Amino acid sequence: MKIVVIQGPNLNMLGIREQQVYGPMKLEQIHAQMKEFAGQNGMEIEFFQSNLEGELVDKIQECYGEVNGIILNAAAYTHTSIAIRDAIAAVAIPTIEVHISNIHRREEFRKENMIAPVCTSSIVGFGPFGYHLAMTGMLQIMGEVKAAQEAQAAAQAAK
């Protein structure tokens, strides 16, 4: 199983910016923990971060036919990007949205979420642990997908 973790704008500044909101962990530390979890669970994992909306859209599109799941923190683009929303919908890959802070308890403009309706699930407000929850969730989703495929294959074979 291959998972791609896509990180949006300013997440490269974790550990530096607004530690009272995002905590002291750096993005590299979060990715190291995710890589360890992936290795323990037989998952292949790739990381991508960009501050540019078009690069995030390109990366989502590159996942089509190549990966089993996407973990996405679109950061500020969550609230503004129809392009990212449309890319997620187009590739139809299980996508778990992650936000370090609880976007629902923050500024009013952060309560608008353009991408949640096309994501499989959303995890908000757990700090960096939210990425671990997303990895666990992705394992569950992939298990359900595999079980459904096996049931479908068995039904076809029985015909």
- Indicate which residues carry an active-site annotation: 22, 99
Distance from chain centroid for Cα 124: 11
How many other CB atoms sit within 10 Å of the CB of residue 2?
Answer: 13
How far is Cα 15 from Cα 92, in angstroms, rounded to an integer? 33
Q: DSSP for 91-137?
A: HT--EEEEESS-GGGS-GGGG--SSGGGSSEEEESSTTHHHHHHHHH
The answer for residues whose C-beta is within 8 angstroms of residue 121's C-beta and 6 or more apart is 96, 97, 134, 137
> Helices 53-62 & 82-91, crossing angle to 10 degrees?
0
**One-letter amino acid for residue 38 of the chain:** A
